[in-house]
Structures are given as C-alpha cells and as structure tokens.
Amino acid sequence: MKVFFFTLALMIGSSLMVVAQHRDDDSRRSFAEERNLYYNSSLQIQLADNNPIVVKIDRTPFTRASRIMRFGNLPPRRYRIKIFGDSPFGMTRKNLLYDGYIRVEPDVAYTAILNPRNGRLKLESTLIDKKYRNDKVYEESYYDYEKSTHKNYDRNDDEEIPSPNRKYYNNRKQNLNDSHVQEIKSSVDDRPFASDKIKTLKTALQNYNYNSSHIKTMAEWLNYDSDKLEFAKWAYASVSDPRNYWRIETVFTFSSTKDDFGKFLEAQVSRR
C-alpha cells in the first residue's frame, strides 16, 4: 500500500513539474513574442510639399534623399528627429527644416508630415495589424533602423555633417576606393536625367575623401560640357589634391568650356 501511494505521489509530482515547465516555456515564448512587438514600430517622414529630404535620427544620418523616408524596426523610446531639405550642402544648419523629438510606442505605425514653411510637424499614428507586423517595404526609401544604426552611426552628434563646399577635416570621411566608385557609377547610370545624375554624385561624395582623378573619371559619366563643368566646379572645394585639378580639363569637348574651367581655377588659386 505504501508503495502504491509513493508511486502515485511520484507520478503527481512529475506531472506538476511538466505543467510548470510548460508554463515556464509559455511564459518565455510570450515574453519573446512581446519583445518582438517592440521592433516592429515604423516611422514615415515626408514634407507637405513633397520635396525630397534627408533625415537624421538621434546619431544616425540617412543621406539618401527621397520624397518619403520610411523606417522600420524602431524600438519604443523617444527619438530626436532632424529633417533637412535635400541640397548640395548636405546636413547643415543652412538647410535644417526641423529639429525635435518623437516618442515611439510599440507596435505603432507613425506618419510625420512637416510643413517646411512654418516648421510644424503633423504626427499621425495607427496600430499595426498583427498579420502585417513583420512586413517590410522593399524599396529605396525604406531603412531597417536597427541595422542602419550600426552602419551609419555618427559619433560627432554635436556637430552637423559639414558642407562638401567647405574645407574641413577630411579624416572624418572614408577614402574613396574602386569599389565605391563602381557603386556610385551604378547609381548614376540608373538616373535618366542629367540633373539627377549630378545630384547623385554630389550626395555620394559627401561621405568620402576624393582626388582629382576620381572627379575626372566621374565627370566623364556626364554627357554635356555644361554638366561636367558644373560638377567639376562643385567638387573642387573638397578635393584632396587641388594642384592636380587642371588635368580634368581633358574631359571637356569645347575650347570655350576649357577656357571657362581655366578661369575658374585661376580664381581659386588667387583666393588661397
């Protein structure tokens, strides 16, 4: 009889341990699922006039200009948002349109629309449907925020990203190599219009140290002398070897353009 009760007690104890284990597993699973919600909030930023922008979230700059910028995988907390008008000046106070804070709650999709005339930000929010929680927008304007922060983190958050039209500490930038040049060329080739090609070049070069040879190569990607001249004049301010810049003259077809470029270089030398 004692053996029977002992066996029964042992069976009951084992059953309770199994139930407790299942509850513990369910608890952990529930926590993991709940935690997963935190990484699926999203933020969409755009201007009321639909002009292209670049954005900085906390210390992470996103410099690929777009009319609508979308960010996924945002953990719930308060973010400092800086919105800049897209221009050759990059992220500087000169084209800063908004500097403020947005609090992100878990499992919420936010849309921020900025009126550039008065600087007012309209923020709309909707709960994300569970069945669409893990969906991502696969397009050029979409960023996975969690992954992007490690790649684009800017340690000098107190200083704005300087204009490529000013001389500044080049050691803050990455040196341009052949792989980077090919990536830039691919982006330029995708742009159908000359103005877009030049804008792509200007945006890309903000992140690199470059020399006269690089500019000569990139100028050859443009079809018209006027576009080549515009780009060459713009790039001169941050080139690492200005004494070699005269070699870019060979990319121009017409003697009048070469004369214009020569006068530009003479003016730059006289300013030193």
Tens digits of per-residue pLDDT, 117-133?
888 999 999 988 765 55
77 and 83 Cβ atoms separated by less than 8 Å: no
Average pLDDT over residues 18-28: 46
Closest CA to 142 of 74, 243, 237, 47: 74
pLDDT in tens, 205-227: 887 889 999 999 999 999 999 99
Token pair, residue 162, equals 């300087």
Q: What whole-number percentage of the chain has pLDDT above 70?
A: 70
Q: DSSP character for 78?
A: E
Average pLDDT over residues 228-243: 90
Give Cα separations from 168 to 86, 106, 138, 163, 264 (angstroms): 20, 40, 36, 9, 21
Query: Taking 70 as the threshold, does the pLDDT of residue 7 lie above it?
Result: no
What are the two backbone dihedrals, phi and then psi, of residue 129, each rounded to the nearest 5 degrees? -65, 135
Lowest mean pLDDT segment, chosen from 69-78, 82-91, 230-239: 82-91
Closest CA to 55 of 74, 40, 36: 74
Average pLDDT over residues 190-194: 85
Residue 1, pLDDT score? 55
CB atoms within 10 A of CB 58: 16
Confidence tier at 15 by pLDDT (50, 70, 90): low
Lowest mean pLDDT segment, chosen from 108-117, 147-156, 163-172, 226-235: 163-172
Helices 178-189, 212-219: crossing angle, 10 deg rounding: 30
**In the predicted model, what is the mean pLDDT of the chain?**
77
Give the global pTM. Answer: 0.46
